[in-house]
């Protein structure tokens, strides 16, 4: 896993990349908040198109976005399938003992499209902004410094823990470990426990090293962010689109 895999396109030149990070966070989260209240499939389809348009404006490669959709889509798809087969309403299709209803199909599509739209917007936010810059902007917006620091260190050390896991797994395979049957569960549980213990010990060492260097006393520098007219224009546009989404929910 490459530590820069999330940030490999932060240096692109696009209107989304050039946005003030504070305005970008506020605008995208307002848009996501409005999407969460949509219950009409027609409106959600329009929202998906808008998300794709924002992705095109950001100039992020389509394959890059699709790869970020792959991992979380499994859980969402399972939840959506339960809605598809266990919703009451007018029957459309019989699949063995299961009945797909019109309402179930609508709910299924609504969940999938909402999920894709939100993930696309989140990918745009994280892929167009350096993570450290994102956390710095969150601190200036009032997010507790401790929470920002926890996010920073989670992002920083998750890659090292992954590499350590791969090293331990390779060592197990060289000693004849076979990933088959229930017998391997004990080995996997021991590996997981060892990884948790090592991560806890490492977190203590990092914390003590930070406190010795004066952690917790650094001021928040708000002068690093300077908003322009374009930033205000994009924020107003995000707010306008979010308002139109919520208003259309009552008229369509």
First to last CA, the chain: 45
Same domain, 117 and 171: no
CA Rg, the chain, in Å?
23
Q: Are residues 124 and 151 in the same domain?
A: no
Same domain? 56 vs 131: yes
- Block residue for tokens 């991992």: 71
pLDDT in tens, 63-113: 888 888 877 777 788 777 777 777 776 766 776 677 777 777 888 888 888
Q: Do both 22 and 120 map to the same domain?
A: yes
Q: Name the band, by pLDDT with cuts 50, 70 and 90, for residue 239.
A: very high
101/107 Cα distance (integer angstroms): 10
* 245 domain-assigned: yes
Q: Does 62 share its domain with 97?
A: yes
Into how many domains does the chain fold?
2
Domain span including residue 123: 15-138+225-251
- Cβ neighbours around 167 below 10 Å, total: 10
What CA–CA distance (Å, rounded) separates 169 from 182? 17
> 117 and 38 in one domain?
yes
Classify residue 4: in a domain, yes or no.
no
Assess whether 29 and 154 both reside in one domain.
no
Q: What angle do CA 114, 78, 125 make, to 5 degrees?
A: 35
Residue 185 falls inside a structural domain: yes
Rounded CA-CA distance 24/68 in Å is 20
Q: Are residues 84 and 191 in the same domain?
A: no
**117 & 128 share domain:** yes
Q: Write out pLDDT tens, residues 120-156.
A: 999 999 899 888 888 888 888 888 877 877 777 777 7
- Summary mean pLDDT of the chain: 81
Task: Please report the pLDDT score of residue 182 as a whole number.
Answer: 65
Tell me, what's the pLDDT at 23? 93
- Position 1 scores a pLDDT of 44
| Domain contains 5 | no
Q: Is residue 55 part of a domain?
A: yes
pLDDT score, position 86: 72
> Mean pLDDT, to the nearest integer, of 22-32?
92
Whether the per-residue pLDDT at 218 is higher than 70: the answer is no
In a domain, residue 10? The reply is no
Please check whether residues 127 and 34 belong to one and the same domain. Answer: yes
Q: Look at residue 128 and tell me if it is in a domain.
A: yes
Please check the confidence at residue 4 and state whether its pLDDT lies above 50: no
**Among residues of the chain, what percentage have pLDDT more than 70?**
88
Tokens standing for 126? Answer: 């994280």
pLDDT digits (tens, 9 = 90+) for 181-208: 666 777 778 788 888 888 778 778 877 7
**pLDDT of amino acid 224:** 67
Residue 3 lies in a domain: no
Q: Are 191 and 213 members of one domain?
A: yes
149 and 118 within one domain:
no
């Amino acid at each position: 896993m490459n530590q820069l895999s999330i940030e490999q396109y932060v240096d692109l030149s696009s209107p989304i990349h050039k946005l003030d990070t504070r305005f970008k966070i506020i605008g995208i989260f307002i848009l996501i908040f409005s999407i969460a209240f949509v219950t009409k499939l027609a409106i959600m389809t329009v929202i998906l198109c808008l998300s794709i348009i924002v992705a095109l404006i950001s100039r992020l490669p389509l394959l890059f976005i699709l790869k970020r959709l792959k991992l979380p889509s499994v859980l969402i798809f399972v939840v959506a399938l339960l809605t598809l087969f266990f919703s009451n309403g007018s029957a459309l299709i019989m699949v063995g003992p299961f009945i797909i209803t019109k309402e179930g199909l609508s709910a299924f599509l609504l969940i999938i499209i909402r999920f894709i739209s939100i993930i696309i917007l989140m990918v745009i936010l994280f892929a167009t902004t350096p993570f450290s810059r994102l956390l710095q902007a969150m601190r200036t917006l009032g997010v507790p410094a401790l929470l920002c620091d926890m996010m920073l260190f989670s992002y920083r050390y998750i890659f090292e823990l992954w590499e350590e896991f791969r090293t331990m797994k390779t060592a197990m395979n060289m000693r004849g470990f076979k990933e088959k049957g229930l017998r391997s569960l004990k080995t996997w549980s021991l590996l997981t426990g060892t990884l948790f213990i090592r991560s806890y010990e490492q977190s203590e060492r990092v914390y003590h090293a930070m406190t010795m260097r004066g952690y917790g006393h650094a001021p928040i520098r708000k002068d690093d962010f300077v908003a322009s007219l374009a930033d205000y224009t994009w924020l107003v546009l995000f707010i306008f689109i979010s308002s139109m989404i919520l208003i259309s929910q009552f008229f369509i």
